[in-house]
Amino acid sequence: TEINLPEIRDVLVSLAFEAGRMILNANPSATAADTKLNAVDIVTETDKAVETLISTKLTSLYPSFSFIGEETYVKGQTTVTDSPTFIVDPIDGTQNFVHGFPHACVSLGFTLGKAPSVGVVYNPFLDIIYTAVKGQGAYMQRNASSPVNPGEKQRLPLNGGKGKLNQLKNSLVAFEGGSQRDGENFEIKMKAFRNLLSAEKGMVGGFRSLGSSALNICGVAAGQLDLYWEGGCYAWDVAAGWCILEEAGGKMYGGNRGVWEPELDSRKYLCVRGSPENEGQEEIVEEFWGLLEGDM
Ligand code: IPD
């Protein structure tokens, strides 16, 4: 049977609202959170409960599809395959969530043959949703869950985009420190931050580290950010955003030099906003890579 992508989007949107209500009703505490990789890589009871809600619904509606979730991922065992797959992060931005910083989201992706084909990213604190279906454009909606006064769906990039991508200078760049805080990967990031900010090299307009990969990607898709560089997140952080980004005319490159076509689980990404006829996209990527002092 044929897979109905708009129907999957609609299912994911209503699940995102349900998950959003759970997130808003939770009362997380930073101290009660469990840790994964280290003290900053945390997971709360809410992350687990939201993932259970989502996986239960999706596996009962689509029993033949695969499901990958952040909290049920098994290192070395869970891999992204060609089969129809839901790739889910119940709460992207868990540090923000436990601190009450209103920048966290539910990230619901769907892939076919490893290609991001549906993306739904919902920030319940701001009630903003981003959605995309492959081949059908990307949208953002404010007051998204309001039954009385939902906002209009705005096509991404907002206002038709920001035009040609110029040089790195003055561009607005998102990055995340990630949970790995030592080793070579960490050193390369620190050197890159210096090069990007410095007057004689990148002189970027600003660096933003807001704590949610999925929302960073949506910011690039919307044209509010020019670039987002990441060296350590996972498929569930990017699967939904990737579809939204591409449908908004943006493109995902690799976080390391020379990686023009990253995979879903490459873990290192550089996403670039759309521009008319993709003008300047590859140039700005090469300029960015040129400031890296090694591979992560
Ligand atoms: C984290 C966020 C963060 C990124 C980390 C992710 P989580 O996701 O997306 O921006 O830098 O690598 O682990 O743990 O809050 O779902």
Cβ 89 under 6 angstroms from ligand 1: yes
Instruction: Tell me: do 26 and 146 sit in the same domain.
Output: yes
Q: Is 70 annotated as a binding residue?
A: yes
195: enclosing H helix or E strand? helix 183-197
CATH code where residue 232 lies:
3.40.190.80
Per-residue confidence band for 180, with pLDDT thresholds at 50, 70 and 90: confident
Instruction: Tell me: do 98 and 209 sit in the same domain.
Output: no
Q: In testing the pocket of ligand 1, which one of 42, 212, 216, 228 has its CB within 8 Å of the most ligand atoms? A: 212
CATH code where residue 40 lies:
3.30.540.10
Per-residue confidence band for 166, with pLDDT thresholds at 50, 70 and 90: confident
**Number of other CB atoms surrounding residue 77 within 10 Å:** 6
Give the mean model confidence (pLDDT) for residues 124-150.
98
Q: Tokens in use for 135? A: 């081949």
Instruction: Tell me: do 176 and 61 sit in the same domain.
Output: no
Percent of the chain with pLDDT over 70: 99
Instruction: Tell me: do 152 and 177 sit in the same domain.
Output: no
Domain for residue 188, yes or no? yes
Number of domains in the chain: 2
Per-residue confidence band for 31, with pLDDT thresholds at 50, 70 and 90: low
Looking at every residue in the chain, the average pLDDT score rounds to: 94
3-state helix, strand, coil in the chain (%, to 5): 35, 25, 45
Catalytic center residues: 70, 89, 91-92, 94, 237
Instruction: Tell me: do 252 and 127 sit in the same domain.
Output: no
Domain for residue 140, yes or no? yes
Instruction: Tell me: do 36 and 145 sit in the same domain.
Output: yes
Domain for residue 39, yes or no? yes
Degrees to nearest 5, angle at CA 109 with 250 and 3: 105
* pLDDT score for 179: 83
Cβ 44 under 6 angstroms from ligand 1: no
pLDDT of 116 strictly over 80: yes
Q: What is the C-alpha to C-alpha distance for residues 42 and 223, in angstroms, rounded to an integer?
A: 30
Instruction: Tell me: do 279 and 191 sit in the same domain.
Output: yes
* pLDDT score for 23: 96
Q: In testing the pocket of ligand 1, which one of 213, 236, 268 has its CB within 8 Å of the most ligand atoms? A: 213
Given 157, 189, 204, the domain boundary residue is: 157
Who contacts 168 (Cβ-Cβ below 8 Å, separation ≥6)? 196, 202, 203, 204, 284, 287, 288, 291
Q: Whose CA is nearest to atom 16 of ligand 1?
A: 92
Domain span at residue 234 reads: 172-290
ipTM of the complex: 0.92
* pLDDT score for 10: 98
SS3 266: coil
Side chain identity, residue 228: Y
| Beta-strand runs (E) in 5-104 | 34-35, 42-43, 66-69, 85-92
Instruction: Tell me: do 148 and 178 sit in the same domain.
Output: no
Domain for residue 80, yes or no? yes
Given 131, 157, 183, the domain boundary residue is: 157
Cβ 178 under 6 angstroms from ligand 1: yes
Instruction: Please name which of 164, 193, 196, 159 lies closest in space to residue 176, comparing C-alpha atoms.
Output: 193
* pLDDT score for 114: 96
Per-residue confidence band for 269, with pLDDT thresholds at 50, 70 and 90: very high
Domain for residue 164, yes or no? no
* pLDDT score for 30: 66
Instruction: Tell me: do 141 and 202 sit in the same domain.
Output: no
Give the mean model confidence (pLDDT) for residues 11-19.
98
Instruction: Please name which of 295, 204, 202 lies closest in space to residue 257, comparing C-alpha atoms.
Output: 295
Instruction: Please name which of 13, 25, 214 lies closest in space to residue 107, comparing C-alpha atoms.
Output: 214
In terms of DSSP bridges, do strands 153-155 and 172-175 run parallel, antiparallel, or are they unpaired? unpaired
Instruction: Tell me: do 125 and 177 sit in the same domain.
Output: no
* pLDDT score for 75: 86
Domain for residue 139, yes or no? yes
| Beta-strand runs (E) in 191-255 | 206-208, 227-231, 251-254
Query: Is the peptide bond between 157 and the residue preceding it cis, with omega within 30 degrees of 0?
Result: yes
Instruction: Tell me: do 72 and 188 sit in the same domain.
Output: no
Pick the residue with more confidence: 21 or 74?
A: 21
Instruction: Tell me: do 200 and 69 sit in the same domain.
Output: no
SS3 88: strand
Give the mean model confidence (pLDDT) for residues 165-191.
92
Q: Is 182 annotated as a binding residue?
A: no
Q: Report which ligand 1 atom has the smallest distance to the Cα of 94.
A: 15
Domain for residue 163, yes or no? no
Domain for residue 141, yes or no? yes
Q: What is the C-alpha to C-alpha distance for residues 192 and 168, in angstroms, rounded to an integer?
A: 13
Per-residue confidence band for 198, with pLDDT thresholds at 50, 70 and 90: very high
